Amino acid sequence: MQLLEAIVRLGSFTRAAEEMFLTQPTVSMQIKKLSDTVGMPLFLTAGRQVVPTDAGREVHAAVRTILRTLSDLETKLADLKGLKSGRLRLAVITTAKYFAPEILGAFCEKFPGIEVSLKITNRDRIIERMAAHEDDLYIFGEPKSAGMDVEATYLAPNPLVIVARNDHPLTQERRIPLERLAEENFLLRETGSGIRDSLVRRFQEKGLRPRVRMELGSNEAIKHAIVAGLGISALSLHSLNLDWGGGRLAMLDVEGFPVDRAWYLVHPKGRELSTLARTFLAFAIEQEPEIRATLNTTYQTLRADNQAILLPEEDGHPDPHPIHR
Ligand code: PGA
Protein backbone atom coordinates (compact mmCIF):
# COMPACT_ATOMS: atom_id res chain seq x y z
CA MET A 1 0.00 0.00 0.00
CA GLN A 2 2.85 2.36 0.89
CA LEU A 3 4.53 1.53 -2.41
CA LEU A 4 1.43 2.29 -4.44
CA GLU A 5 1.03 5.59 -2.60
CA ALA A 6 4.65 6.52 -3.33
CA ILE A 7 4.45 5.61 -7.04
CA VAL A 8 1.32 7.71 -7.53
CA ARG A 9 2.86 10.64 -5.66
CA LEU A 10 6.24 10.49 -7.41
CA GLY A 11 5.06 9.32 -10.85
CA SER A 12 7.93 6.85 -11.03
CA PHE A 13 8.75 3.28 -9.98
CA THR A 14 12.44 4.18 -9.70
CA ARG A 15 11.90 7.15 -7.40
CA ALA A 16 9.43 5.18 -5.26
CA ALA A 17 12.01 2.37 -4.98
CA GLU A 18 14.67 4.89 -3.91
CA GLU A 19 12.41 6.49 -1.33
CA MET A 20 11.51 3.15 0.20
CA PHE A 21 15.04 1.71 0.00
CA LEU A 22 13.92 -1.14 -2.27
CA THR A 23 15.20 -2.36 -5.62
CA GLN A 24 13.18 -1.59 -8.72
CA PRO A 25 12.45 -5.28 -9.51
CA THR A 26 11.00 -5.68 -5.99
CA VAL A 27 8.73 -2.70 -6.59
CA SER A 28 7.61 -4.00 -10.00
CA MET A 29 6.93 -7.44 -8.57
CA GLN A 30 4.86 -6.09 -5.67
CA ILE A 31 2.78 -3.94 -8.00
CA LYS A 32 2.32 -6.86 -10.38
CA LYS A 33 1.04 -9.01 -7.50
CA LEU A 34 -1.37 -6.28 -6.48
CA SER A 35 -2.58 -5.87 -10.11
CA ASP A 36 -3.11 -9.65 -10.34
CA THR A 37 -5.18 -9.57 -7.15
CA VAL A 38 -7.25 -6.67 -8.48
CA GLY A 39 -7.47 -8.33 -11.91
CA MET A 40 -6.63 -5.12 -13.80
CA PRO A 41 -3.48 -3.07 -14.51
CA LEU A 42 -2.92 -0.31 -11.94
CA PHE A 43 -0.45 1.89 -13.88
CA LEU A 44 0.11 3.18 -17.42
CA THR A 45 3.28 4.66 -18.82
CA ALA A 46 2.88 8.22 -20.12
CA GLY A 47 6.20 9.45 -21.50
CA ARG A 48 8.73 9.21 -18.69
CA GLN A 49 6.02 9.14 -16.01
CA VAL A 50 3.80 6.38 -14.74
CA VAL A 51 0.22 7.34 -14.04
CA PRO A 52 -2.52 5.33 -12.35
CA THR A 53 -5.26 3.74 -14.46
CA ASP A 54 -8.87 4.23 -13.36
CA ALA A 55 -8.53 1.07 -11.27
CA GLY A 56 -5.20 2.36 -9.90
CA ARG A 57 -6.86 5.62 -8.87
CA GLU A 58 -9.61 3.77 -7.02
CA VAL A 59 -7.10 1.55 -5.21
CA HIS A 60 -5.00 4.63 -4.40
CA ALA A 61 -7.98 6.43 -2.83
CA ALA A 62 -8.76 3.37 -0.70
CA VAL A 63 -5.10 2.97 0.25
CA ARG A 64 -4.89 6.55 1.49
CA THR A 65 -7.94 6.04 3.67
CA ILE A 66 -6.54 2.78 5.04
CA LEU A 67 -3.09 4.29 5.77
CA ARG A 68 -4.66 7.23 7.52
CA THR A 69 -6.96 4.95 9.57
CA LEU A 70 -3.96 2.81 10.60
CA SER A 71 -2.01 5.87 11.63
CA ASP A 72 -4.99 7.17 13.65
CA LEU A 73 -5.31 3.78 15.28
CA GLU A 74 -1.65 3.88 16.23
CA THR A 75 -2.22 7.31 17.78
CA LYS A 76 -5.26 6.13 19.75
CA LEU A 77 -3.51 3.01 21.06
CA ALA A 78 -0.48 5.08 22.06
CA ASP A 79 -2.79 7.47 23.91
CA LEU A 80 -4.24 4.57 25.85
CA LYS A 81 -0.72 3.71 26.96
CA GLY A 82 -0.12 7.31 28.06
CA LEU A 83 3.29 8.88 27.54
CA LYS A 84 5.20 5.80 28.59
CA SER A 85 5.44 4.58 25.04
CA GLY A 86 4.23 5.49 21.59
CA ARG A 87 5.78 7.00 18.50
CA LEU A 88 6.29 10.62 17.54
CA ARG A 89 6.79 11.26 13.85
CA LEU A 90 8.28 14.61 13.04
CA ALA A 91 9.17 16.00 9.61
CA VAL A 92 11.12 19.26 9.38
CA ILE A 93 12.54 21.49 6.66
CA THR A 94 16.27 21.34 6.12
CA THR A 95 17.18 24.32 8.29
CA ALA A 96 15.33 22.97 11.33
CA LYS A 97 17.77 20.07 11.38
CA TYR A 98 20.21 22.41 13.08
CA PHE A 99 17.96 22.47 16.10
CA ALA A 100 15.25 19.78 15.96
CA PRO A 101 17.57 16.93 17.11
CA GLU A 102 18.42 18.90 20.25
CA ILE A 103 14.75 19.46 21.10
CA LEU A 104 14.04 15.79 20.42
CA GLY A 105 17.00 14.69 22.54
CA ALA A 106 15.78 16.68 25.53
CA PHE A 107 12.22 15.40 24.99
CA CYS A 108 13.36 11.76 24.84
CA GLU A 109 15.28 12.22 28.08
CA LYS A 110 12.03 13.28 29.70
CA PHE A 111 10.02 10.42 28.15
CA PRO A 112 12.55 7.61 27.67
CA GLY A 113 9.99 4.99 26.62
CA ILE A 114 8.92 6.71 23.42
CA GLU A 115 10.10 6.16 19.87
CA VAL A 116 10.76 9.08 17.56
CA SER A 117 11.36 9.44 13.86
CA LEU A 118 12.70 12.59 12.25
CA LYS A 119 12.46 13.23 8.52
CA ILE A 120 14.43 16.16 7.11
CA THR A 121 13.56 17.41 3.66
CA ASN A 122 12.67 20.54 1.66
CA ARG A 123 9.47 22.57 1.84
CA ASP A 124 7.64 21.01 -1.11
CA ARG A 125 8.31 17.51 0.11
CA ILE A 126 7.19 18.42 3.67
CA ILE A 127 3.89 19.74 2.29
CA GLU A 128 3.44 16.53 0.26
CA ARG A 129 4.06 14.45 3.40
CA MET A 130 1.55 16.55 5.32
CA ALA A 131 -1.08 16.08 2.59
CA ALA A 132 -0.53 12.32 2.84
CA HIS A 133 -0.71 12.41 6.68
CA GLU A 134 2.67 10.73 6.96
CA ASP A 135 3.78 12.35 10.24
CA ASP A 136 2.34 13.82 13.45
CA LEU A 137 3.91 17.27 13.28
CA TYR A 138 5.83 19.39 10.78
CA ILE A 139 8.23 22.30 11.16
CA PHE A 140 8.38 24.79 8.29
CA GLY A 141 7.65 28.43 7.46
CA GLU A 142 4.81 30.34 5.79
CA PRO A 143 2.13 27.80 6.76
CA LYS A 144 -0.61 29.98 5.25
CA SER A 145 0.66 29.20 1.77
CA ALA A 146 0.88 25.43 2.30
CA GLY A 147 -2.17 24.95 0.06
CA MET A 148 -4.27 23.30 2.76
CA ASP A 149 -5.99 24.22 6.02
CA VAL A 150 -3.54 23.91 8.88
CA GLU A 151 -3.07 24.66 12.56
CA ALA A 152 0.23 26.47 13.04
CA THR A 153 2.04 27.50 16.21
CA TYR A 154 4.99 29.87 16.11
CA LEU A 155 8.23 28.12 17.10
CA ALA A 156 11.24 30.38 16.46
CA PRO A 157 12.84 32.90 14.09
CA ASN A 158 14.48 31.63 10.91
CA PRO A 159 16.20 34.64 9.29
CA LEU A 160 17.54 34.44 5.76
CA VAL A 161 20.92 36.07 5.13
CA ILE A 162 23.17 36.53 2.11
CA VAL A 163 26.50 34.78 2.49
CA ALA A 164 29.77 35.15 0.57
CA ARG A 165 33.35 34.03 1.08
CA ASN A 166 35.07 36.33 3.54
CA ASP A 167 37.47 37.73 0.91
CA HIS A 168 34.61 38.78 -1.38
CA PRO A 169 34.81 42.53 -2.21
CA LEU A 170 31.14 43.01 -1.22
CA THR A 171 32.01 42.24 2.43
CA GLN A 172 33.47 45.76 2.54
CA GLU A 173 30.27 47.41 1.35
CA ARG A 174 27.24 48.53 3.37
CA ARG A 175 23.55 48.54 2.46
CA ILE A 176 24.23 46.75 -0.83
CA PRO A 177 21.24 47.19 -3.18
CA LEU A 178 19.65 44.08 -4.69
CA GLU A 179 20.46 45.45 -8.16
CA ARG A 180 24.16 45.10 -7.30
CA LEU A 181 23.61 41.55 -6.05
CA ALA A 182 21.96 40.63 -9.34
CA GLU A 183 25.40 41.01 -10.99
CA GLU A 184 26.88 38.26 -8.80
CA ASN A 185 27.01 34.52 -9.47
CA PHE A 186 24.42 32.83 -7.30
CA LEU A 187 24.33 29.32 -5.89
CA LEU A 188 20.70 28.30 -5.66
CA ARG A 189 19.00 25.45 -3.80
CA GLU A 190 16.94 22.90 -5.78
CA THR A 191 13.37 23.51 -7.02
CA GLY A 192 10.96 22.88 -4.13
CA SER A 193 13.20 24.62 -1.60
CA GLY A 194 11.61 27.31 0.56
CA ILE A 195 14.87 29.27 0.69
CA ARG A 196 15.09 29.31 -3.10
CA ASP A 197 11.49 30.57 -3.39
CA SER A 198 12.07 33.22 -0.78
CA LEU A 199 15.21 34.53 -2.50
CA VAL A 200 13.76 34.48 -6.00
CA ARG A 201 10.66 36.32 -4.71
CA ARG A 202 12.85 39.09 -3.24
CA PHE A 203 14.45 39.57 -6.65
CA GLN A 204 11.15 39.38 -8.52
CA GLU A 205 9.65 42.10 -6.33
CA LYS A 206 12.24 44.43 -7.85
CA GLY A 207 11.86 43.07 -11.36
CA LEU A 208 15.20 41.27 -11.05
CA ARG A 209 16.48 37.72 -11.27
CA PRO A 210 19.46 36.12 -9.55
CA ARG A 211 22.21 35.05 -11.97
CA VAL A 212 22.31 31.32 -11.31
CA ARG A 213 25.74 29.76 -11.50
CA MET A 214 24.82 26.42 -10.02
CA GLU A 215 21.96 24.53 -8.34
CA LEU A 216 22.78 22.48 -5.26
CA GLY A 217 20.58 20.13 -3.25
CA SER A 218 21.59 21.05 0.31
CA ASN A 219 22.59 23.93 2.56
CA GLU A 220 25.85 22.13 3.39
CA ALA A 221 26.76 21.80 -0.30
CA ILE A 222 26.02 25.51 -0.74
CA LYS A 223 28.40 26.42 2.09
CA HIS A 224 31.17 24.31 0.56
CA ALA A 225 30.60 25.86 -2.86
CA ILE A 226 30.79 29.38 -1.39
CA VAL A 227 34.11 28.55 0.30
CA ALA A 228 35.29 27.08 -3.01
CA GLY A 229 34.68 30.50 -4.59
CA LEU A 230 31.85 29.40 -6.87
CA GLY A 231 29.49 32.22 -5.90
CA ILE A 232 27.30 33.70 -3.19
CA SER A 233 24.01 32.45 -1.81
CA ALA A 234 21.12 32.87 0.61
CA LEU A 235 21.20 30.72 3.74
CA SER A 236 19.21 30.43 6.92
CA LEU A 237 21.23 31.81 9.82
CA HIS A 238 20.63 28.48 11.58
CA SER A 239 22.75 26.68 8.99
CA LEU A 240 25.70 28.75 10.20
CA ASN A 241 25.28 27.85 13.89
CA LEU A 242 27.93 25.20 14.19
CA ASP A 243 29.89 25.57 11.03
CA TRP A 244 30.62 28.72 9.17
CA GLY A 245 33.25 27.33 6.85
CA GLY A 246 36.21 27.57 9.21
CA GLY A 247 35.68 31.32 9.40
CA ARG A 248 35.61 31.67 5.61
CA LEU A 249 31.93 32.55 5.35
CA ALA A 250 30.77 36.14 5.78
CA MET A 251 27.35 37.70 5.92
CA LEU A 252 26.72 40.54 3.48
CA ASP A 253 24.94 43.75 4.44
CA VAL A 254 22.21 43.70 1.81
CA GLU A 255 19.15 45.97 1.70
CA GLY A 256 16.07 44.04 2.85
CA PHE A 257 18.14 41.34 4.58
CA PRO A 258 18.03 39.46 6.88
CA VAL A 259 14.58 38.44 5.71
CA ASP A 260 12.45 37.89 8.82
CA ARG A 261 11.12 34.40 8.48
CA ALA A 262 9.93 32.02 11.16
CA TRP A 263 9.49 28.34 11.84
CA TYR A 264 6.07 27.01 12.81
CA LEU A 265 4.92 23.71 14.23
CA VAL A 266 2.18 22.66 11.85
CA HIS A 267 -0.38 19.91 11.40
CA PRO A 268 -3.46 19.57 9.17
CA LYS A 269 -6.57 21.24 10.54
CA GLY A 270 -9.08 18.78 11.91
CA ARG A 271 -6.50 16.10 12.53
CA GLU A 272 -6.44 15.42 16.22
CA LEU A 273 -2.98 15.33 17.74
CA SER A 274 -1.94 12.42 19.92
CA THR A 275 -1.17 13.20 23.58
CA LEU A 276 2.48 12.62 22.73
CA ALA A 277 2.44 15.08 19.82
CA ARG A 278 0.59 17.67 21.91
CA THR A 279 3.09 17.27 24.72
CA PHE A 280 5.97 17.63 22.27
CA LEU A 281 4.43 20.77 20.78
CA ALA A 282 4.18 22.42 24.20
CA PHE A 283 7.72 21.30 25.03
CA ALA A 284 9.16 22.59 21.73
CA ILE A 285 7.71 26.08 21.98
CA GLU A 286 9.27 26.47 25.42
CA GLN A 287 12.66 26.18 23.71
CA GLU A 288 12.17 29.43 21.76
CA PRO A 289 14.40 31.58 24.00
CA GLU A 290 17.22 29.07 23.70
CA ILE A 291 16.90 28.82 19.92
CA ARG A 292 16.88 32.61 19.70
CA ALA A 293 19.94 32.89 21.96
CA THR A 294 21.93 30.42 19.82
CA LEU A 295 20.91 32.34 16.74
CA ASN A 296 21.97 35.64 18.23
CA THR A 297 25.39 34.24 19.13
CA THR A 298 25.86 33.12 15.52
CA TYR A 299 24.74 36.52 14.34
CA GLN A 300 27.11 38.39 16.62
CA THR A 301 30.00 36.14 15.60
CA LEU A 302 29.43 36.70 11.91
CA ARG A 303 28.81 40.37 12.47
CA ALA A 304 32.02 40.83 14.48
CA ASP A 305 33.85 39.23 11.61
CA ASN A 306 32.72 41.52 8.86
CA GLN A 307 30.90 44.26 10.78
CA ALA A 308 27.65 43.63 9.06
CA ILE A 309 24.14 44.28 10.27
CA LEU A 310 22.23 43.54 13.47
CA LEU A 311 19.36 41.16 13.99
CA PRO A 312 16.26 43.14 14.94
CA GLU A 313 16.43 43.58 18.69
CA GLU A 314 12.91 42.54 19.38
CA ASP A 315 11.47 40.48 22.12
CA GLY A 316 8.64 38.83 20.32
CA HIS A 317 8.84 36.85 17.12
CA PRO A 318 9.50 38.57 13.85
CA ASP A 319 6.49 37.38 11.91
CA PRO A 320 4.04 40.27 11.63
CA HIS A 321 1.23 37.86 10.82
CA PRO A 322 1.16 35.25 13.58
CA ILE A 323 -1.30 32.52 12.86
CA HIS A 324 -1.65 31.11 16.31
CA ARG A 325 0.55 31.41 19.38
P1 PGA B 1 14.04 24.53 2.36
O2 PGA B 1 13.52 25.28 3.64
O3 PGA B 1 14.94 23.40 2.76
O4 PGA B 1 12.78 24.08 1.68
O5 PGA B 1 14.79 25.56 1.54
C6 PGA B 1 14.42 25.79 4.56
C7 PGA B 1 13.89 27.08 5.14
O8 PGA B 1 12.89 27.61 4.62
O9 PGA B 1 14.51 27.57 6.10
| Ligand 1 pocket test, candidate residues 123, 128, 201, most atoms within 8 A of CB | 123
Which of helix, strand or coil describes residue 177? coil
- CB contact at 8 A, 230 and 213: yes
The predicted pLDDT at position 16 comes to 92
**Once rounded to an integer, what is the mean pLDDT over residues 218-229?**
94
Tens digits of residue pLDDT in 133-190: 899 999 999 999 999 999 999 999 999 999 999 899 999 999 999 999 999 999 999 9
Whole-structure pTM over 0.85, yes or no? no
At residue 324, the pLDDT reads: 34
Range 186-199 average pLDDT: 95
For the stretch 289-308, pLDDT in tens is 889 888 888 888 777 555 44
Among 43, 13, 18, smallest CA distance to 28 is for 13
Q: Tell me which of 97, 122, 266 to substitute to probe ligand 1's pocket, judged by most ligand atoms within 8 Å of the beta carbon.
A: 122
**315 confidence band (pLDDT: 50, 70, 90):** very low
3-state secondary structure at position 66: helix
Query: Quick one: which H or E segment has residue 44?
Result: strand 43-46
pLDDT tens profile 92-123 = 999 999 889 999 999 999 888 899 999 999 99
Element of type H or E holding 56: helix 54-80
Q: Ligand 1 center to residue 122 CA distance, Å?
A: 6
- Residue 94 Cβ inside 6 Å of ligand 1? The answer reads yes
Query: Quick check: CB of 159 below 6 Å from ligand 1?
Result: no
Residue 241 DSSP SS3? coil
pLDDT, one tens digit per residue, over 235-282 is: 999 998 866 666 788 899 999 999 999 999 999 998 889 889 999 999
- Length of the chain, in residues: 325
Per-residue pLDDT at 113: 87
* Mean pLDDT calculated for residue range 69-88: 79
Q: How far apart are the first and last CA of the chain?
A: 37
Summarised one tens digit per residue, pLDDT across range 204-214 is 999 999 999 99
Ligand 1 pocket residue status of 189, Cβ below 6 Å: yes
Question: Is 168 a pocket residue for ligand 1 (Cβ < 6 Å)?
Answer: no
The residue nearest atom 2 of ligand 1, judged by CA position, is: 194
Q: What is the pLDDT of residue 83?
A: 76
258 lines ligand 1 (CB under 6 A): no
Give the per-residue pLDDT at 298.
Answer: 85
- The reply to whether ligand 1 has any atom less than 6 angstroms from the CB of 219 is no
Return the pLDDT at 79.
73
